[in-house]
Chains A and B, each alone.
Chain A
Amino acid sequence: MPELGEILDGKEICICAGSGGVGKTTTSAAIATGMAARGLKVCVLTIDPAKRLADSLGLKELDNTARRVDPALFEKQGIEVEGELWAMMLDAKATFDELIARQAPDEESRDRVLDNRIYQQISSALAGSQEYMAMEKLFELHTEGDYDLLVLDTPPTRNALDFLDAPKRLTQFIEGKSLRMFMKPTGLAAKVAGRGASVALGIFKRIVGFDLLADLAEFFNAFSGMVDGFQARAKRVNKLLADPGTCFLVVCGPQGEPIDEAVYFHRKLVEAKLPFGGVIVNKVHYPAEDLRDGDGDLPTALAEKLGDEDLAQRVAANFSDYQALAERDARNIERLAKELRAQGVIRVPYLDEDVHDLAGLAEVNRYLFATGEERVAMAAGRA
């Protein structure tokens, strides 16, 4: 089994993907910490509106600027950070505005876009805009080259695929070639396009109202000077994602459904020819290693040792519940490993304490970056 440190060796970008609620943010922060501990200058980016990253790094707030995490905080947890750890929370709307400002040929066209109501909706609310801006910021930071490694905690999507498709959907929207043609009713295109299209446009107008259509038309007109710039940039972003210096990690939980999603996501990454690094399975119930050698009747043995039959029964019942979950997790992970041909499945156990602070992060970090032998030792030390 490869180690995370090896997987990430020489990488400049690490993208953590997966559905919500599987500990993706914590994992991203732990990865960034681990690589900073190895002497790199690392920046972890999140777009999570729930401010989880700030919580877990002990930062009061995060905004569109990177903030350095105080190394003294990690020393307290026994992690010596030789490099530097920086964190940034993305403001999708602000990033979009900056991008417009950069791409606009002049101030007037910039303001025309920024003031447009359709733009205001898109930049903050349209599905995909957050994902797109995450990529955008990643690209910008990578180009500036201030960091050795950038770790991206992707926005929580219920369908992991959304994340990969979102930027494309958004650029297609902004390009709006076919639409812009129809928006000019006197243009040649309208005449060529024929009756079908104008009927469709008419019906759409009837349903959504003329106002909305006028706003859309204004939006595309205002945008027209920037389309080429956007396309060129999107191409470079895609190239960066497919670069061997980039690494996609899938984060999931051990239950059936998250594992299915991880399998699916891995396939999609391979199909899209994107560099896949491995899967991190969080909150795994580890099976007890020293079992199955005929310990006999557990409740009786426990009762003898504890001198309390009722307690012994409860301990045994609790144990069998845990074993059932551990077996399920092992089955699911085996299925995952088969799919990935045993390439890069990293397990993090279900820890006794909920992981939400630096102490928890430090513990996750130890599991993530453990070597093969350390991992065995740690697993044996657990229930």
Chain B
Amino acid sequence: MALGLRAASEGKRTIVCEVSSQENASRMFDHTEVGFHEVEMEENLWSISIDPDESMREYVLLQLKVRAMRDMLFRSRIFSYLAAATPGLKELVTIGKIWELAQLDRKVKQGRKYDLVIVDAPATGHGIGFLQTPRTFAAIARVGPIHSQAQQLDRLITDHEHTGTAIVALPEEMPVNESAALEKELRDEVGVAVDRVYLNGLYPERFSKAECESLRELADGENGAARAAARAAVSEHQRARSQRAQLARLRRRVEAPVKTLPFLFEPELGPEAARRLSRRLG
């Protein structure tokens, strides 16, 4: 969402797509659920939650051109069964919808033109499979319209000029390992460009080592609020330090430039927090 805000503030018409009906965007902006609609959250910033079933309906309509025929098709049990049984079809139509959003010549009636489409992709293990769907699908369906469409989607994903990925990591041992592995897989196996790695939730370094020593004494001795406060400071120092070590590891292990995003000490993140993060992106 912060990336979306950033692009929007630069005057780009931007849409953020969620693909697992999480509705994080609407939650963050205190908006009612957006669903399968393009909803404006801020100036130039839109949001959509891509539902595979809705994408399928839209896709079939675009293929058949006749609404009544489409509806008849969706009422038929055999069709819904086949659609569910075909491996990867859901992911494929989801990526198809993303592709459609990115077109300057939109397929849906009165579709807006976007300069930038941002996708909140599924988590690591599933993300790779998701991006590889078009290629696997093109291999299964050797002929027919869906074969060439799947190839077209794969070309979009691997088009380094227009498509890129950003990896988001946390400053902890295992997420750093996973991000390094993910970058390699995205580059070598999926063939998509990796433009940036964001290290999210980095603690500020509020205290120096020397300061921490005197705080440690206070944390061991005193009572009451002063002790608790000193303990919190020592914890913060330790966390910030081990996070810096993870940042260094991440920088050594990935090829793409690493940018950091601060941990926000706020109970729940709202639009204001997203705006603040967006100013730190670039």
Contact = CB atoms under 8 A, between A and B. Distances in A.
Contacts of A169: 84
Contacts of B24: 257
Interface string B135-176: 010011111111100000000000000000000001111100
Given A302-B230, A324-B266, 4 more contacts: A176-B81, A200-B82, A291-B225, A295-B224
A258 interface: no
Contacts of B191: none
Contact of B228 (A50, A173, A290): A290
B229 A209 contact: no
A356 B174 contact: yes
Interface stretch (B100-108, B234-242, B272-280): B234-242
Contacts of B124: 49-50
Interface residues of B, number: 80
A211 B141 contact: yes
A56 B211 CA distance: 33
Contact of B142 (A211, A324, A354): A211
A354 B144 contact: no
Q: In this complex, which of A155, A158, A212, A255 has the most chain B Cβ atoms within 10 angstroms of its Cβ? A: A212
Interface string B76-101: 11110111111111100000000000
Interface string B175-198: 001100100000000000000000
A142 B129 CA distance: 31
Given A207-B144, A354-B173, A314 B136 contact: no
21 contacts: A20-B123, A117-B140, A121-B87, A121-B136, A125-B136, A127-B126, A158-B22, A176-B85, A178-B78, A200-B82, A201-B82, A208-B146, A209-B145, A212-B144, A216-B86, A293-B224, A311-B211, A314-B207, A322-B235, A352-B234, A354-B246
Interface residues of A, number: 76
B238 A353 contact: yes
Interface string B237-271: 01100110010000000000000000001111000
Listed from nearest, the 3 A-B pairs whose CB atoms lie closest are A209-B144, A383-B231, A288-B228
A147 interface: no
Interface in B42-89: 60, 63-64, 69, 72-73, 76-79, 81-89
Per DSSP, chain B at the interface is helix
Contact of B82 (A126, A179, A193, A298): A179
A211 to B, nearest CB: 5
A95 B66 CA distance: 44
A295 B264 CA distance: 27
A356 B2 CA distance: 29
B20 A158 contact: yes
B125 A48 contact: yes
A356 B207 CA distance: 25
A132 B21 CA distance: 22
A52 interface: yes
B78 A324 contact: no
Nearest to A310: B211
B111 interface: no
Nearest to A209: B144
A176 B85 CA distance: 8
B226 interface: yes
A203 interface: yes
A155 B126 CA distance: 10
Contact of B123 (A52, A158, A354, A356): A158
A311 B213 CA distance: 12
